[in-house]
Structure 1
Amino acid sequence: MCHLSPEFVDITWGAGGSRPAATLEVVSNVQKVLALRGDPPSDQKSWTPCKDGLPSATALVRHIRATHGDYFGIGVAAYPELHPESPTLERDLYYLKQKIDAGAEFIVTQLFFDVPQFLDWVREVRRYGVGIEVPIVPGLMPIQTYTGFRKNVVDAGLSVPQWILDGLEAVKEDEAAVRQFGVEVGVKMVKELVESGLVSGVHFYTFNLETSTRLILEGTGLVTCPSPSSSQQQPSSSDSSNSVASTSTTPPPPSPSSAPKQSTLSVIRKDKPWRTHFLPHRRREEHQRPIFWANRPKSYISRTDTWHQFPSAANQWQRSLDKYGSLEGYGVGIKYPTAAEARLHWSKNGGGQPRRVEDLSEVFQRYWRGELQTLPWCDHPCRAGGGSGGEMESYRDRLVELNGVGCYLAINSQPVVNGVKSDDKVLGWGPSSGYIYQKAFLEFFVSPDQLPILINRLETHFPNYTYNAINHSGSTFFHSSSPKSKSRCRSKHTNANADKDDKEEEEEEEEPNTVTWGVFLNHEIVQPTIVERSSFLAWKDEAFALWDQWAQCFEGETESDSTRETRKVLDEVREKWCLMNIVNNDYHQPTGVFDLFEEDFVRAAKAREADAKVVVAEASGVSQVLETKEAAGVEEEEERAMRRKEEEEDGSNVFSNALAAVVVAAAAAGSHGVCQGLAVENVALTEASCSA
């Protein structure tokens, strides 16, 4: 499930009979708590508080807030069809409001199957009193078995539309058909829920069965297919970073129309270009982030976890590397939990590990085509939507082409956007009455030979561009000045590890460059994404460390030429190549940043054309050789046949001459019988000679 990038996965205390200590190990460092009162003990019919215990979920929320402040994000349960102990909806909403007022930040609901009834309940929640404004996440249970559905849903008294009951009844004897029908039900429910605009994602009660949940999410387009073995590979029309999907092994305590309409699934709206629904309370005031972590948002959250205040404008950034801390304390990790999974995933077409730079180019091309789910620098697939490349549908071909040049390996990008409506399904964020703008941005690793060529090209022909480029050690650091500066086109070659005073003096010359902003009715201009130099220097340590993480996936492997060559090429790129980002500050230019690489595209195309001619020539040469050999073989066979014929004719002539002499002699003797006998023998001998 981790490949689907859920917002959270909840863990039940002591699930499966595990030791309490084991549960604590699993949940160590979590920062979200789903605060439930819990079921009564199995030997009790009703729930009563234990001695010196907390009497309710509301009391638990208050206790967490009083003890730990805003360290934890707290969720609470809600019951669309009433809690079994609640006499009325009004009473239910009263207790729900108490939990929110005590400090809960989001709501996860009990499972249900009647979507129209659920949406009516959501509207009632929003209207109640002064209103409950926290995110509401509907709880869904994929139908796995007919008996399980009857026991957990129908017998528990939950409302189920007749079309679901009829559909299950028709296939109840076929387990596979039941599961397939359950997926169809889940897809229809999720589509209707998301299109309502009333929910903040979906929460699945998986009961430790992941397949149905995955197929439902793929069927709705909220995620892309995570593996080639998936039975329902459907292209995504939206980005999972726009959705808020979570999974759960067990639901909250259970309580004792017509089919949904078919429609095109919309995305779940975002307040910012990144997810905000379930961030800790103190991060709700976070209004701006450096773009470098756009594809690794969890890494950014971890590296800034100790921050007490978050910049809300470009001029509030304290340009200091120290604010991110060191990687030694934080650590750098790749997406896959085992080295074997990483090796299998980041391979060439048809399998096999990258052993040359050309092979690395192929791996990166596979990612930007959508054939790979991740890269070490990209936690999410490249797909239609936002975040890690999905909004770059029109960019994809050019990105694939760029990675095929052989001296660039792209890891992050955003296209130019000039006044797209903020409710756009692909690029939109923020209030619906607004417009979104973006400067074209591209980040990539560049070979040491190509870097000076590219910088010269930038300085000579592209005055609207700004850039940063640095190597692994920091000994080489090229950067242009801010567009606000008169010297913006003058590059500098500096030592990034210079003493602190020199570094601070250089950093003061550049203000953060806003690359994403939104204009909304009755709002100030919102500027959520920036390029900022000290953040880039902090990011470069992580970006280069990920090459090392990739290489470590081959440690412990049986030593072979292939393994050595793979580690060598990964280490070589890490040590010799540079990390570079560029921004085209003219957001009216529709081509974005790719005009900069036009010479490279032309050169690569000519090289491919030349290679193709060589292949054709070689193939033609082989064909000509084969034709020559075939002709020579025919000639040899004809010569052998001629020789056989001549030999046969020579033998026949000798025999005929001898026979003629005998016949003449016999005739002279007047022996007609002998002559006749010899004539018969002549025929037999001639036939035998021909056979020979």
Structure 2
Amino acid sequence: MKISQKLSQAHNGSNPPPATFSFEFFVPKTSQGVQNLYDRMDRMYDLNPIFIDITWNAGGRSSSLTNEMVYTSQSTLGLETCMHLTCTNMKVELIDEALEKAYKSGCQNILALRGDPPLDGSESTGDFKYAKDLIQYIRKKYGDHFNIGVAGYPEGHPEEEDELKTLNYLKEKCDAGADFIITQMFYDVDNFINWCSKLNKIGVDIPIIPGIMPISTYAAFIRRAKWSEIAIPQHFLDALDPIKDDDFLVREKGTELVSEMCTKLLQSGYINHLHFYTMNLEKATVMILEKLNLIEAIKSHDLVGGSELPWRKSLHPERSKESIRPIFWQHRKYSYISRTATWDEFPNGRWGDSRSPAFGDIDLCASELLRQSPKKALELWGLPQSLKELSGLVVDYLKGDLKSLPWSDGPVGDDTKVIVDNLIDLNKHGFFTMNSQPALNAIKSSEKVFGWGPKNGYVYQKQYLEFFCHKDVVSKLLNSVEAFNKSQGDTTSSVISYYAVDKSGNLISNCRDDDINAVTWGVFPGEEILQPTIVEKTSFLAWKDEVYRLLSEWSKVLSSNLVDADPSKVGGFVELMDKLGDEFVLCNLVNNDFVEGNSTLFNLIKDLHVQELA
């Protein structure tokens, strides 16, 4: 959606309008930096920003990386994204390529900038001299598809001393087709409000979005102010100078100062949206939002928690009808989006119409599967030498002491807390859990942890367990499941359904090939029943390929890159991964009696009396 539309929706209907916010991120210099930033952006999604923007780095790999990051944030992370685009030293062919990639990724927002002039003082070699030329070109080629933002300079532009000329240049950009203004950073709030008044007087009536720079350290605060040639109010210096050597106190006092500045902006009558220059950091921005009581930011008026579905929907327009996903990828959205990026349609009812061409060979590179550099993987997970040590990693993750696992990109969710003790017990007995969800029966869609979808609805879940199980235990487990099903008296359907498959693809199941089992669904006023999460054979076999490949890549990436590691430790880790791949079977269980609760599946496994890992 266009930023101007999102702002209008968020701010109409109440007086005074609620405050909203957005974040800016820049393109990191390393691949691991990019991955870490994706993780940070993913966490900051939960703060509910109206949009994010990603800076443009002209030339070479950096330029294409901007487009890649826009695609990922828009399609995979589900963040409304604005792409910076500069025209200095940019031939029209490069601009066309960038705009076409943005268009295809579903991005509808561009921040059109001139960019910094050449450092040697020479003239730009680009085909456009000014930002207004770039705006006119975008409008001519794409019409109203893109919402276009422009830069504003509340304290004047360093290349133009005449304030009136600077204001008129901004007016020209607005007249050329700009939809909103994002300003340079500043700390002098009185000057900013006066500047807004001057813009109003010359007929600028599009949204003005102030650029807010949090204060994290004194040195960075001074350096950025000097670089941007902005004034620092005396009361900022008086408050920060005495504590400048204590980063903790500087951040605390800086949060207070910037929050006071933001409060004054929001009370001015000109501003109802704040744009934070995060510098790819998190804490300082979050502290300001907490101080302003904006952490519970604007959410869609007809959705609970802004969540249309229990998984995060892609904002790519070609995925707009997607309403169903296999549960196996609930913690691996990056690989799921990558694997389905070439689909020409997405399931919007029964899964069957799209499952046959859905999953081909895995063509993701190792880094996309593991999503961590060798150094980071070693730091997170070490080199487990035994099944017990591997169990310890999963247990630490379930307790919240570890923020990710190779097969889980983010921290364990709050929804797992109701079954976490049982999951920990399973892992201590050699059942390495991959995915799970508790049973739910008619939980209100407004419930904070489990709720999703429109208001005044009810959501349901079947209990689901997915784990690695040693091949010697699988037959005992499945025999117990079948005995339990027979004890329930209904021979036409299974209370507990299952799939079990080894690395070679040998599959055992009590489900038919065409069974599609909805394990999450919701009932809402005036709508058909939504069934957004499923279990079925084709996608489970594709998931099996990914999981076993992931174990192999984890082993390969570390063993090939840890030149300083103890060879015996590396060897022991490789042997463990080989053992897991060769001797363990990937299983899932669904208790279709969602009313029963969460004890049946765990009790069946406990009744096997498998010894705790030694």
What is the CA distance between 1:292 and its match in structure 2?
0.9
Contact 1:58 1:99 in 2 (8 A): no
**1:272 partnered with 2:344:** no
Assess, with a 3 A threshold, how the Cα gap between structure 1 residues 180 and 451 changes in structure 2: closer, same or farther. Answer: same
What is the CA distance between 1:365 and its match in structure 2?
0.9
Assess, with a 3 A threshold, how the Cα gap between structure 1 residues 319 and 265 changes in structure 2: closer, same or farther. Answer: closer
Equivalent residue number for residue 554 of structure 1: 559
2:340 counterpart (293, 300, 304): 304
Give matches, 1:117-128, under 5 Å.
none
Assess, with a 3 A threshold, how the Cα gap between structure 1 residues 139 and 390 changes in structure 2: closer, same or farther. Answer: farther
Equivalent residue number for residue 413 of structure 1: 436
Q: In the TM superposition, what whole-angstrom CA distance separates every residue of 1:474-529 from its partner, at most 9, and x where no partner exists?
A: 1x211122xxxxxxxxxxxxxxxxxxxxxxxx623x2x111112222222222211
**Matches of 1:393 and 1:12 in 2, distance apart?**
41
Equivalent residue number for residue 240 of structure 1: none
For 2:499, what is the secondary structure of its paired residue? Answer: strand
What is the CA distance between 1:151 and its match in structure 2?
6.0
What is the CA distance between 1:183 and its match in structure 2?
4.8
**Matches of 2:275 and 2:167 in 1, distance apart?**
24
**Matches of 1:149 and 1:559 in 2, distance apart?**
44
Contact 1:77 1:109 in 2 (8 A): no
For 2:508, what is the secondary structure of its paired residue? Answer: strand
**1:394 partnered with 2:418:** yes
For 1:437, what is the secondary structure of its paired residue? Answer: strand
Contact 1:79 1:109 in 2 (8 A): yes
What is the CA distance between 1:326 and its match in structure 2?
1.0
Q: In the TM superposition, what whole-angstrom CA distance separates every residue of 1:305-357 from its partner, at most 9, and x where no partner exists?
A: 0112101112544442x42221146667345542122122113xxxxx31111
Contact 1:470 1:580 in 2 (8 A): yes
1:578 counterpart (572, 582, 585): 585
**Matches of 2:154 and 2:40 in 1, distance apart?**
31
For 1:449, what is the secondary structure of its paired residue? Answer: helix
Equivalent residue number for residue 430 of structure 1: 453
Equivalent residue number for residue 62 of structure 2: 23
Which residue type is aligned with residue 429 of structure 2?
V
Contact 2:114 2:130 in 1 (8 A): no
**Matches of 1:461 and 1:220 in 2, distance apart?**
52
Structure 2, unaligned runs of 5 or more: 1-32, 43-51, 72-82, 85-109, 157-165, 197-205, 266-272, 300-304, 486-493
Equivalent residue number for residue 78 of structure 2: none
**Rg (Cα) greater in structure:** 1
**Matches of 2:329 and 2:448 in 1, distance apart?**
22
Assess, with a 3 A threshold, how the Cα gap between structure 1 residues 218 and 183 changes in structure 2: closer, same or farther. Answer: closer
**Matches of 2:136 and 2:226 in 1, distance apart?**
32
**Matches of 1:468 and 1:538 in 2, distance apart?**
13
1:357 counterpart (373, 382, 387): 387
Contact 1:440 1:587 in 2 (8 A): yes
For 2:545, what is the secondary structure of its paired residue? Answer: helix
**1:10 partnered with 2:14:** no
Equivalent residue number for residue 513 of structure 2: 507
Contact 1:464 1:584 in 2 (8 A): yes
What is the CA distance between 1:289 and its match in structure 2?
1.0
Alignment coverage as a number of residue pairs: 479
What is the CA distance between 1:150 and its match in structure 2?
5.8
Please give the root-mean-square deviation of Cα atoms over the aligned residues, in Å.
4.8
Equivalent residue number for residue 366 of structure 1: 396
Assess, with a 3 A threshold, how the Cα gap between structure 1 residues 272 and 447 changes in structure 2: closer, same or farther. Answer: same
Equivalent residue number for residue 381 of structure 1: 411
Assess, with a 3 A threshold, how the Cα gap between structure 1 residues 41 and 29 changes in structure 2: closer, same or farther. Answer: closer
Contact 1:75 1:108 in 2 (8 A): no
Contact 1:446 1:579 in 2 (8 A): yes
What is the CA distance between 1:206 and its match in structure 2?
3.3
Q: In the TM superposition, what whole-angstrom CA distance separates every residue of 1:157-211 from its partner, at most 9, and x where no partner exists?
A: 9xx9xxxx967742333232322333567899999x9xxxxxxx99742346x3x
Contact 1:286 1:311 in 2 (8 A): yes
Which residue type is aligned with residue 313 of structure 1?
G
**1:294 partnered with 2:366:** no
Which residue type is aligned with residue 532 of structure 1?
E
What is the CA distance between 1:41 and its match in structure 2?
6.2
For 1:445, what is the secondary structure of its paired residue? Answer: strand
Structure 2 length-normalised TM: 0.65
**Matches of 2:274 and 2:424 in 1, distance apart?**
33
**Matches of 1:215 and 1:335 in 2, distance apart?**
29
Equivalent residue number for residue 323 of structure 1: 358
Assess, with a 3 A threshold, how the Cα gap between structure 1 residues 142 and 218 changes in structure 2: closer, same or farther. Answer: closer
Equivalent residue number for residue 567 of structure 1: 574
Equivalent residue number for residue 637 of structure 1: none
Assess, with a 3 A threshold, how the Cα gap between structure 1 residues 459 and 27 changes in structure 2: closer, same or farther. Answer: same
Contact 1:437 1:516 in 2 (8 A): yes
For 1:446, what is the secondary structure of its paired residue? Answer: strand
What is the CA distance between 1:12 and its match in structure 2?
2.6
Structure 1 length-normalised TM: 0.58
Assess, with a 3 A threshold, how the Cα gap between structure 1 residues 279 and 580 changes in structure 2: closer, same or farther. Answer: same
**1:469 partnered with 2:500:** yes
For 2:464, what is the secondary structure of its paired residue? Answer: strand
Contact 1:31 1:280 in 2 (8 A): no
For 1:273, what is the secondary structure of its paired residue? Answer: coil
Contact 1:37 1:56 in 2 (8 A): no
Assess, with a 3 A threshold, how the Cα gap between structure 1 residues 334 and 517 changes in structure 2: closer, same or farther. Answer: same
**Matches of 1:26 and 1:298 in 2, distance apart?**
16
**1:536 partnered with 2:567:** no
**Matches of 1:202 and 1:466 in 2, distance apart?**
50
What is the CA distance between 1:261 and its match in structure 2?
5.0
Which residue type is aligned with residue 270 of structure 1?
S
Of structures 1 and 2, the one with the larger relative CO (CA 8 A, separation 6+) is: 2
What is the CA distance between 1:295 and its match in structure 2?
0.4
Which residue type is aligned with residue 282 of structure 1?
E
**Matches of 1:456 and 1:342 in 2, distance apart?**
38
Structure 1, unaligned runs of 5 or more: 15-19, 101-106, 122-130, 194-200, 222-258, 348-352, 383-388, 482-505, 612-692
**Matches of 1:95 and 1:418 in 2, distance apart?**
55
Equivalent residue number for residue 170 of structure 1: 239
**Matches of 2:568 and 2:388 in 1, distance apart?**
17
Equivalent residue number for residue 224 of structure 1: none
Q: In the TM superposition, what whole-angstrom CA distance separates every residue of 1:5-39 from its partner, at most 9, and x where no partner exists?
A: 4157834324xxxxx22424644745544422214
